[in-house]
């Protein structure tokens, strides 16, 4: 079952409202948490893409991908 567009909009609006209620300190602390979560998700994707990769391999590929993102971001 796919969520309908109204549910998606409502969930997004709720996230935005929750973020607006956060204190400045909470917002600052959210940055590293979001980065850590993103890295965990990227590692899961790498493990899926390379099922035989060791943890060292996964971390190396993650660093390579983060470096690529930085290089691409610095072009703008």
Quick: pLDDT tens for 21-73.
Answer: 999 999 999 999 999 999 999 999 999 999 999 999 999 999 999 999 999 98
**Confidence at 74, pLDDT banded by 50, 70, 90:** confident
What is the pTM (predicted TM-score) of this model? 0.70
**CA 26/CA 22 separation, integer angstroms:** 6
Spatial contact of 46 and 61, defined as CB atoms under 8 Å apart: yes
């Amino acid at each position: 079952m796919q969520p309908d567009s109204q549910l998606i909009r409502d969930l997004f609006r709720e996230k935005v409202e929750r973020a607006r209620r956060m204190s400045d300190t909470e917002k600052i602390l959210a940055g590293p948490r979001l980065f850590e979560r993103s890295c965990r998700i990227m590692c899961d994707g790498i493990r899926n893409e390379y099922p035989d990769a060791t943890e060292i391999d996964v971390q190396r590929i993650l660093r390579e991908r983060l470096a690529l993102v930085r290089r691409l971001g610095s072009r703008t």
